[in-house]
Structure 1
Amino acid sequence: MIWTPVSTSVSLPSDQSQCSWVFLVAVAETSESAQSYYNTGLVLIATGDLCPSHLRSWTELWLGSSVEVVGPETLNRALIGSMFYLLSAFPSLDESAKPFGGVSPGGLSNGGKDEDYLGHVFWDQDTWMYPGISLFYPKLAKAVLQYRIRTIEGAHSNAQQMGYKGLKFAWESAVTGRDVCPDDLIVQQEIHINGDVIMAFKQYFYLTQDLEMFKVGRGSEVVWGVADYWVSRVTWDPANDEYHIKGVIPPDEYYTNVDNSVFTNAVAKCSLRFALELASHLSHTPPPEWQDIADKIKIPFDPELKYHPEFDGYTQGTNVKQADTVLLGYPLGMSTTPEVRQNDLEIYEAVTDPLGPAMTWGMFAVGWLELGEAEKAQELLQKCFKNIQKPFQVWSESADGSGCVNFLTGMGGFLQAVLFGYTGFRVQKECLAFAPLLPQEVDALSVKGVCYLGNKMDWLVKSTEVTVTVRKPAEGSGNKEPDALTVVLNTGTTIPLKPGQSVTFSRQPGQIRKRISRSYCWPL
């Protein structure tokens, strides 16, 4: 870090009605880079272009992507603020190819252990912040994956030290990927991080079809290394003809050393299935255990009460910390009946800690939107506003203002509730599915800059109709021509999408697909 010395006091000269002071800080990985950035800043100050250049850069970003509503001003400000802070924590687009150190729940380390998580990288990056950013910026999405790729050796060491094969990504990761979490029990048991990382890789592949990332960019090493880890981590239960994962901490960290965390097992199942899919793309022969475990891993379910217990032995009505089982529907996309989905939402909403982390209620909102209950969803989304402090839309981790500040994880969950809730966007194997639904207080939703298969799209969702416009090739599409797209509505209507033209149709579910494709979306 290089910085302008900050005076303890400043004085306005008596002969001037106004004066300004500028204090500059440059942060970089090397002293040479920091000095270069600092010198550039000094030049911008001297020419009066420091603030104007900043404004120009943000104007370009807002033109590239934005999420706004016609409706409550508080909701709109929260959305804009979330995008602003998340984009601030990721690399700039022109530096996205440079080594990236990941995003911590509070951004750069700025406080003590209980305030900002020491600047370490958790599942917060891959599960909570990444999905919204990846929908707009393939380059930034790729930078996140490349961070995980650079920590492969550390992940391999983590697995070996615990007596397992493959890759075990750190619960708290820094530069090397070796686990820097100060709590050994968490290091050993909070293993769902492995599946969370793979979900990010899968979403990137489905959005871009960038096989080179997996062929030569070492992406396949990550996906297959995690699959090998699950093979060595599961245990076989011959009595019930199923695989178990024992002794884990689920996303709900109120519990330790539990068996068959429903989220952990489900995300392991998803990552194994993606490993098999990727193997077919790359003509790789997968070990038969990948398929066998994916088919037979236990997903706890109570057939009488028709809901998913959080883990083996969970008692309905027992308090939970945060969104856990409700994540089965979104983001995991596990197929369940509407009755079971509703039961999961109702049962866990009633026992979720009101002072739990801020990203939780957005996931409940997504679930209710899936069920067509827009007003119920909005009621839960409103709980997020207890975590937002005016005037700068700063998020606290907990509703009472405690915990990490500025809590990027909460912003990521909130942004997803609108991006994937109001639109119904689901990034699937052969399509970008949608099922728009707005609460009564929102007249319209504008989502600009959605990137899919090399195309950049703008969406305008209203109460009765949807307009889609293909603007231009997406950032990061390279020299490859973007795939021609078409809207396929669930009613059977097909509408070609052409660059520079808008199409409008009545609000209903459908998919965006390659125009030449005859494929369909496959359930997870």
Structure 2
Amino acid sequence: MATEEDKVKVMSPMEDGRWIFSSSSLPSDPRLMATLANGYLGTRVYGDVFHVNGVYNGAGGNCHRAEIPSPCFKLVAAKEILLTENFALNIKRGTFIHTLQCPSFTATHQTFAHRSYCHLLVNIVTLTSTQGTHPVSVDLQSKFKIESPDLNLQEGPDFREFKYIFGSTLESETESCPVKSIHMIWTPVPPYLELTSSKEKTWVFLAAVCETEKDVKEKFAEGLTLIAENELCSSHERAWAEFWAQSSIEMDSSLSMIQSVNGCLYYLLSSLPQLGYSGEFYGISPGGLSNGRSKEDYWGHVFWDQDIWVYPNILLFYPEMAKHILKYRIRTLKGALQNAQKQGYKGAKFPWESALTGCEVCPDNIYGDQEIHINGDVLLAFQQYYYLTKDLDFFASEGGWEVVSSVAEYWCSRVVWSKEEQNYHLNGVMPPDEYHWDVNNSAYTNALVQTSLNFAIDLAVSLEHHIPDSWKDVASKIKVPFDPKINYHPEFDGYEIWLKVKQADVVLMGYPMMFPMTIEQRMNDLQMYESRTDPDGPAMTWSMFAIGWMELKKIQVAQQQLKKCFANVTEPFKIWTENADGSGAVNFLTGMGGFLQAILFGYTGLRIAKAHLSFDPILPDDIPRLHITGVFYLGNKLNFTLSSNIITIEVTSVLKGQNCTLEIYFSQLEPSLPLYIGRPVSFPTRAGQVQLKQSQE
């Protein structure tokens, strides 16, 4: 039995609407249910399984997230008339709440994946009699069975009065990779709960999952202690509050826009471990931890979606969390080295689809063999981290340099010299536009080759490492297709301007890659590919067109593109689908990541450059004010408040041990504006950059 602390707390008016997605009914498609996750475990509400980060079953292309049976349940008022029913996802508190109102009682059921005690999945039910103390009851509807197509589960002896099962995955990803063990302890779920003599009663149902018997017993016991100390709910809510307190996006806009932004942040943050996490993290898949069982949502694999679409939002606010994403790539470098060796090349080839080891697990060879732009996507994430943090130790001693240098070696071994054109070619590739394959010189891929190598060269200088001549040679002579007649970048050699494109491809050269080009070339690329991109393509595409048009100050055109994203948002829980018709992956974090980038990097014009954080804001008429808190730059936390006429920038804190004094720079003809903690600086809206004070450079 739980105490008063564990009951559902009253929602404040400030939370309602912006932070709570509620409905009197559930979506007819169970794929569109709200999801609960904490970076270690995740599930769909009322789903019959949950997943654990890094626990996969199946070899090679058959590898997928292992299904772990979930002891969750749903309340059903079977014996009384149901007056009202409400289902609500409170994203500020990371909790799903189901409320039943009957003539003689009210029942509330809250569910959450604990934000700080990440091994715990929690269900709490409270029955309150509204007509005296005569008995009332509610049924618990559960699909739980001790079985899984992915685990050889066995029942163990009870842990105190609680149930215990254990087992291991049936097949490992590779021969050298061991199978994963799973141990789970949970509170047994009765067929019903009954309130007899008292006016109110609360029941708590815990489930703990770990990879060893010792750990699962310790984690479950921790949960019991939290209950006894009235800390189970409050510790979970404090952890979520810490995330929201560190960074936020506030805007004067429509409720649907605010909900979409907050919802995207919630689902992305749910895919990350708690702040201060020191364990191993195994990446972010397009459908998050709540999805990814066999033949569903890309089987829980990690793609470029993590590095290009989700990561920049995390990096801007939570660089320590972004570092976990980079560490995943470092941890899987051995597999990437093997991938390159199998193809006959040097260095590392990161897999198009990655799971536990970094070996290729894509079911279709052509993607794994040809979609090699993933290497540049990974390195762009490492580059952005270095520019934003200047954390040289990460590259010197934590494995960052090994990733950077290995990718550089791969590019140099993969290119071929063209005597005819006197430059390097990259042949037989598939660009991000997956409607075309086995093409030569993908503009996006080759531009990434140059970007990767230039970063590797700069980093080698900082680390005082030897720079191979081949790096400089390939960087300066790689072919990036360009048509001087039309003044745009053809997608690849031989591209015809009438060919349909699946998704954002060449337009990514402008952002996030920031490949050098003129304003006219940028505009021509946007215009050319906007009309040729499949309108039924994946959700993230239109956000990149929106960012491009914002760069060019074409805000109305940008808004038209951004509004296309809303076709992928489903009600009532703001779950995104990959495609506007509802097909493809669900809880599509990739689309959410692209949409958030349009807010964080589009409206603001923020760009992470080698020596500064630039800004060049533009807001539509229906968003007169945008307030972004907790932007990280060189150990400082900054707030940006933007309007059509005024920008205000404030340093709110500096990391302990850091001594990076910043200034706002406009041009050599104007004095810079120094930034000090707690002293906001305002000026007329225009482009500028935040940088180290000149004396510190």
Per the normalisation by structure 1, the TM-score is: 0.94
Given the superposition, is the C-alpha separation of residues 156 and 517 from structure 1 closer, same or farther in structure 2, using an over 3 Å criterion? farther
Residue 46 of structure 1 deviates from its aligned partner by 4.4
Quote the residue 1:42 is aligned against.
224
Amino acid at match of 2:249: V
The separation in 2 between residues aligned to 1:257 and 1:31, in whole angstroms, is 49
Q: Tell me the secondary structure at the aligned position of residue 357 of structure 2.
A: coil
Q: Is 28-37 or 244-253 further displaced after alignment?
A: 28-37
Matched residues in 1 for 2:216 and 2:577: separation?
Answer: 30
After superposition, the CA RMSD in angstroms is 1.9
Cα shift at 1:375: 1.6
SS in 2 for 1:168: coil
**Structure 1 residues 337 and 59: alpha-carbon distance in aligned structure 2, compared to 1, 3 A threshold:** same
Shift in Å, 1:93: 1.0
Tell me, what secondary structure is at the counterpart of 1:171?
coil
**Cα distance, 1:331–1:30 mapped onto 2, change above 3 Å:** farther
Q: Is the 8 A contact 1:65 1:450 kept in 2?
A: yes
1:75 is aligned to 257
TM-superposed CA distance for 1:51, in Å, is: 2.4
Aligned with residue 110 of structure 1, among 284, 291, 299: 291
Matches within 5 A, 1:238-317: 238-317=419-498
Instruction: From 394, 406, 409, give the equivalent of 1:228.
Output: 409
Q: Which structure ranks higher in relative contact order (CA pairs < 8 Å, sequence separation ≥ 6)?
A: 1
What runs of 5+ residues in structure 2 fail to find an aligned partner?
1-182
Q: Is the 8 A contact 2:339 2:349 kept in 1?
A: yes
* 1:18 shift after superposition: 6.0
Distance change (3 Å), C-alpha of 1:355 and 1:288: same
Cα-to-partner distance string for 1:275-301 (whole Å, 9 max, x where unaligned): 010111111121111111111111111
What's the CA shift for 1:37? 2.9
1:374 alignment counterpart: 555
* 2:236 aligned with 1:54: yes
* Counterpart contact for 1:484–1:516, Cα < 8 Å: no
Count of paired positions: 514
Deviates more, 1:33-42 or 1:77-86: 33-42
Residues 348/35 of structure 1: CA separation in 2 closer, same or farther (3 Å cut): farther
Q: Output one character per residue of 1:70-119: Cα deviation in whole Å (capped at 9) or x when no partner.
A: 11221111111111111110111121x32111111111263444432222
Give the match's secondary structure for 2:489.
coil
Letter of the 2:225 counterpart = V
Equivalent residue for 1:486? Answer: 663
Find the counterpart in structure 1 of residue 692 from structure 2: 514
In 2, the alpha carbon distance for the partners of 1:221 and 1:417 equals: 32
Of stretches 28-37 and 199-208 in structure 1, the one that deviates more from structure 2 is 28-37
Are positions 1:162 and 2:339 aligned together? no
Bigger radius of gyration: 2
- Aligned partner of 1:26 in structure 2 is 208
1:196 equivalent to 2:390? Answer no
- Any conservation in 1 of the 2:500–2:534 contact (CA below 8 Å)? yes
For residue 19 of structure 1, report the CA deviation from its aligned partner. Answer: 5.5
Amino acid at match of 2:633: Y
**Stretches of structure 1 lacking an aligned partner (at least 5 in a row):** 520-524
Rounded Cα–Cα distance in structure 2 between residues aligned with 1:25 and 1:300: 55
The Cα shift of 1:371 comes to: 0.2
Distance 1:110 1:35 in 2: 26
Deviations along 1:50-85, one digit per CA (max 9) or x if unpaired, are 222222111111110111211122111111111111
The TM-score, its normalising length taken from structure 2, stands at 0.71
1:126 equivalent to 2:304? Answer: no
Contact 1:453 1:482 in 2 (8 A): no
**More strand per residue:** 2
Residue identity in the other structure for 2:206: L
Instruction: Report the CA distance between 1:377 and its aligned residue.
Output: 0.8
1:156: Cα distance to partner? 0.9
**8 Å Cα contact 1:2-1:38 kept in structure 2:** no
Task: Provide the residue aligned with 1:468 in structure 2.
Answer: 649
Query: Among residues 296, 304, 328, which one is paired with 2:509 in the alignment?
Result: 328
The residue type equivalent to 1:193 in the other structure is: I
Are the aligned partners of 1:469 and 1:501 in contact in 2 as well (CA < 8 Å)?
yes
Q: 2:604 aligned to 417, 423, 428, which one?
A: 423
CA distance in 2, matches of 1:85, 1:378: 23
1:418 positional shift:
0.7
User: Is 1:165–1:232's contact at 8 Å kept on the other side of the alignment?
Assistant: yes
Query: What amino acid sits opposite 2:413 in the alignment?
Result: S
Number of the residue aligned with 1:339: 520
The alpha-carbon deviation at position 351 of structure 1 amounts to 1.9
- What SS class does the counterpart of residue 459 from structure 1 fall into? strand
**What SS does the aligned partner of 1:93 have?**
coil
Q: Secondary structure in 2 aligned to 1:222?
A: helix
1:41 is displaced (CA, Å) by 2.6
Contact 1:362/1:413 (<8 A) preserved = yes
User: Structure 1 pair 29/130, CA: closer, same or farther in 2 (3 Å)?
Assistant: farther
Q: Tell me how far apart the structure 2 counterparts of residues 30 and 503 of structure 1 sit (CA, whole Å).
A: 53
Query: How far 1:404 moved relative to its partner?
Result: 1.1
Q: Report which stretch shifted further, 80-89 or 34-43.
A: 34-43
Q: Deviations over 1:302-334 (max 9, x none)?
A: 111222111112111211111011001000101
- SS of 1:82 mapped into structure 2: helix
- Alpha-carbon distance in 2 for matches of 1:402, 1:19: 43
Is 1:505 equivalent to 2:683 in the alignment? yes
Measure, in 1, the Cα distance between the counterparts of 2:670 and 2:292: 55
